Structure 1
Amino acid sequence: MKIFFLDQSGKPGGAELCLIDIAKPYKDRCLVGLFAEGSFRNLLQQNHIPVQVLTTQAIEVRKESSLAQGLGSLGQLIPLIAKVVQQAREFDLIYANTQKALVVGALASFFSRRPLVYHLHDILSPEHFSKTNRSIAVTCANRFASLVIANSQASQAAFLAAGGRPDITKVVYNGFDAKNYQSQESDVKQIRQQLGIDGQFVVGHFSRLAPWKGQHILIEALAKSPLDVTAILVGDALFGEQEYVQHLHQQVTALGLENRVKFLGFRSDIPLLMSACDLVAHTSTAAEPFGRVIVEGMLCGRPVVAAKAGGAIELVEHGVNGFLVTPAKPDELAQVITTCLQEPEKTANIAENAQAIARQRFDVTAINQQIAELLDKL
């Protein structure tokens, strides 16, 4: 089967990292078409996956865009759609990995007479998308897609609640290669020394810096935690969120936490940094569709505390393979941090259990087999 993958992003996020794993088995008979230039292209090339940037002009539509803004982007979309239609005729299947890719892929599917698969990595809710964007996504999927793969039950439920067709929807969790999350103890010790966090209980937060990702919740919880607790924030702002980054720095200063919070920016050595943490924190204030960082923390053998909403509830059983706290409740988060600090043996057992469960439940080979079977049925 020859597959034409479509993705709107030039930068690697959770959906893009998932796409790399899905495309690898088809790398000798696929093409990934991107709607923007960026480091994601380099990652695909490093994994020997054919890639082509289909347009250099950014599509000026965002999750919160109105109908008028959407219509205003048609001039950009028409040449892109024409190029995708032409390319699609060389493949057996169009695989849209993001929402903008869905819109382009839907029209390309119609004109090229190729089946369309939509991989839903989002929760189509008012917290994340405007009413117009939710309507467009559901209409395109219902009318043109032969299959919608939701990355969690939470994503599937939101899609159905927005009017999506249940008969074309299947849930397949993200897959992970456990080998990528193994770190040498000597490397872990070295990175802790380099970061100046030796002797500290380290809480790590791994995501782009954005209000709904909740880094401010962790900072507030840190102020309520024992003095030997330090936080590292890995990631930076995207999509014009620099004002929030400035707010975080002001918050750290106001709480007198300058020596206990480290902003590390974007990093490529995520598994090593996670392994250098004593606890990985997920603090999203709105429901997360999946929560990739949660599974990554588990695979690194580290305890994870997650916001109790969306896909996180499907990944974490409180006290068994991690901890759950109410979103936007720093007091609860501070209590979990303190518990993990004071009860290291119990916490280590939970982390070990989580690692074993994650390796089995999210094995990339098994996940890819699930997807392959679904695609073969089309």
Structure 2
Amino acid sequence: MKILFLDQSGKPGGAELCLIDIAKPYQNNCLVGLFADGSFKSLLAENHIPVQVLTTQNIQVRKDSSLAQGLGSLRQLVPLIAKVVQTARAYDLIYANTQKALVVGAIASFLSRRPLVYHLHDILSPEHFSKINRRIAVTAANRASLVIANSQASKTAFIEAGGRADISEVVYNGFDPQNYQIDELVVNQTRQQLGLEGKFVVGHFSRLAPWKGQHILIEALVQCPQQVTVILVGDALFGEQEYVQNLHQQITTLGLENQVKFLGFRSDIPQLMSACDLIAHTSTAAEPFGRVIVEAMLCGKPVVAAKAGGAVELVEHGINGFLVTPGKPQELAQVINDCLHDSENTATIANHARITASQRFDVTNINQQIAQLLTKL
């Protein structure tokens, strides 16, 4: 089976990292077409996955775009659609991995007469998308032969927005557990390099954005002992520099300068997670899946997650992690303090998390599920 994968991003986010794992088994019979150049292209090449940048023109449509803005982007899309149609004729199916890729892929699928698969990595809700963008996404996705949702929460939101239940299947993201087995010597070196020795380290791994809730973790930190230190791994992506400035101001106002470290974008995520005592997920809106949650579990670290969206499908409170009400720093602080003072119970929960995550999200099993769905097409 020859597959043309489409993705709008030049930067590797959660959907893009998932695409690498899905494309690997087809690396001799696939092409990943990108709508932007960047580090994601290099990452694909490093994994020996054929890749081509199909356009260098920025598509001026965002999740909150209006109808006028959407129509204004059509002129940009025409040359790209033509290129995708021409390319698709050499492949058996089109696999759209993001929403802009879906729109282009749906039109190209019709013109090239190739079946379309859409991998849904989003919750199509008003909190995340404008009304017109939800309508466009659902209309385009309903033309697909298959919609793969990355969680039950994503599938439910898709159907509630008008999506077809008969073409929708849930397949969670896959991971290679071996990538998260970090030597204790490396862990100690990482803590030493970051000046975290003797600290109880709470890690937050996400781009810096208001809905990701880093400000909630900082507010919770006020209610914790001074030995608790937070590391924020990630940076602003989509014009959210003002939020980053607000975070720094919040830290200064609360007198937490010595307890919060900004590490920016990093590629050594498993090593950094392994150097933490607890991983916090603090999204204020429902998360479609929660890749960071599973990665932390695979590192054998306890996770406290916001109780909404896909996170509820990953975490059983008190069994393999902790769940707190989104936007409630006092609840988050309570979990942090409990983990600090009850290390034995915390270690038991973390160990159970590693075992269950290794079984549920092994990339080999996930790829088999996807291959079976694609074969049916």
Give the TM bin, normalised by the shorter chain.
over 0.9
Q: Report the counterpart of residue 164 of structure 1 in structure 2.
A: 163
2:241 maps to 242
Q: State the superposition RMSD in angstroms.
A: 0.3
Aligned ranges for residues 1-378 of structure 1 at < 5 Å? Answer: 1-142=1-142, 144-378=143-377
Q: How far is 1:89 from its partner?
A: 0.2
Distance 2:236 2:9 in 1: 15
Q: Secondary structure at the match of 2:145?
A: strand
User: Shift of residue 226 of structure 1?
Assistant: 1.3
Deviations 1:275-317 (A, max 9, x none): 0000000000000000000000000000000000000000000
Q: Whole-Å Cα distance in 2 between the matches of residues 334 and 277 of structure 1?
A: 16
**1:333 is aligned with what amino acid?**
L
Instruction: Name the SS of the counterpart of 1:118 in structure 2.
Output: strand
Measure the CA separation in 2 of the matches of 1:58 and 1:305.
37
| Structure 1 residue 237, shift from structure 2 partner | 0.2
Q: Give the structure-2-normalised TM-score.
A: 1.00
Which string of whole-angstrom CA distances, capped at 9 and with x for unpartnered residues, describes residues 240-290 of structure 1? 000000000000000000000000000000000000000000000000000
**Could you report, residue by residue, the CA deviation over 1:182-230 in whole angstroms, capped at 9, with x for unpaired residues?**
1111111011011001000000000000000000000000111111100
CA shift, 1:158, in A, is 0.3
The one-letter code matched in structure 1 to 2:208 is L
- The alpha-carbon deviation at position 43 of structure 1 amounts to 0.4
AA in 2 matched with 1:204: G
SS in 2 for 1:243: helix
Q: In structure 2, what residue type is equivalent to 1:220?
A: E
SS at match of 1:60: coil
Question: In structure 1, the residue corresponding to 2:263 is in which secondary structure?
Answer: strand
Ranges of 4+ aligned residues in structure 1 off by more than 2 Å: none
CA distance, structure 2, for counterparts of residue 43 and residue 162 of structure 1: 34
> What code does the residue aligned with 1:298 have?
M
Distance 1:141 1:349 in 2: 42
Aligned mates of 1:370, 1:61 — CA distance in 2: 33
Equivalent residue letter for 2:183: Q
The alignment partner of 1:145 has SS state of coil
Question: CA offset at residue 68 of structure 1?
Answer: 0.5
The one-character-per-residue Cα deviations of 1:116-141 (angstroms, maximum 9, x if unpaired) are 00000000000000000000000011
SS of the residue corresponding to residue 289 of structure 2 reads coil
Per-residue CA distance 1:309-332 (angstroms, 9 max, x = gap):
000000000000000000000000
- Secondary structure of 1:157's match? helix
CA distance, structure 1, for counterparts of residue 43 and residue 177 of structure 2: 19
**What is the rounded CA distance, in whole Å, between the counterparts of 1:274 and 1:58 in structure 2?**
34
Measure, in 2, the Cα distance between the counterparts of 1:44 and 1:204: 27
Q: Given residue 104 of structure 2, which amino acid in structure 1 is its aligned partner?
A: V
2:287 alignment partner, SS class: coil
Q: Which one-letter code corresponds to 1:99 in the other structure?
A: Q
Equivalent-residue separation in structure 2 for 1:227 and 1:98 (angstroms): 42
C-alpha distance in 2 between matches for 1:255 and 1:298: 31
Distance 1:338 1:234 in 2: 21
Unpaired stretches in structure 1, ≥5 consecutive residues: none
Secondary structure of the corresponding residue to residue 59 of structure 2: coil
Amino acid of the residue matched to residue 176 of structure 2? Answer: D
| Deviation string, structure 1 residues 137-184 (Cα, Å, up to 9, x no partner) | 000111x20000000000000000000000000000000000111111
CA distance in 1, matches of 2:103, 2:55: 15
In structure 2, distance between residues paired with 1:80 and 1:182 = 42
User: How far apart are the structure 1 equivalents of 2:266 and 2:371?
Assistant: 32
Q: How many residues end up aligned between the 2 structures?
A: 377
Q: Deviations over 1:312-368 (max 9, x none)?
A: 000000000000000000000000000000000000000000000000000000000
The AA in structure 2 aligned to 1:125 is S
The DSSP-based 3-state class of the residue aligned with 1:62 is: coil
SS of match in other structure, 1:302? coil
In the alignment, the residues of structure 1 paired with residue 176 and residue 58 of structure 2 have an alpha-carbon distance, to the nearest angstrom, of 32
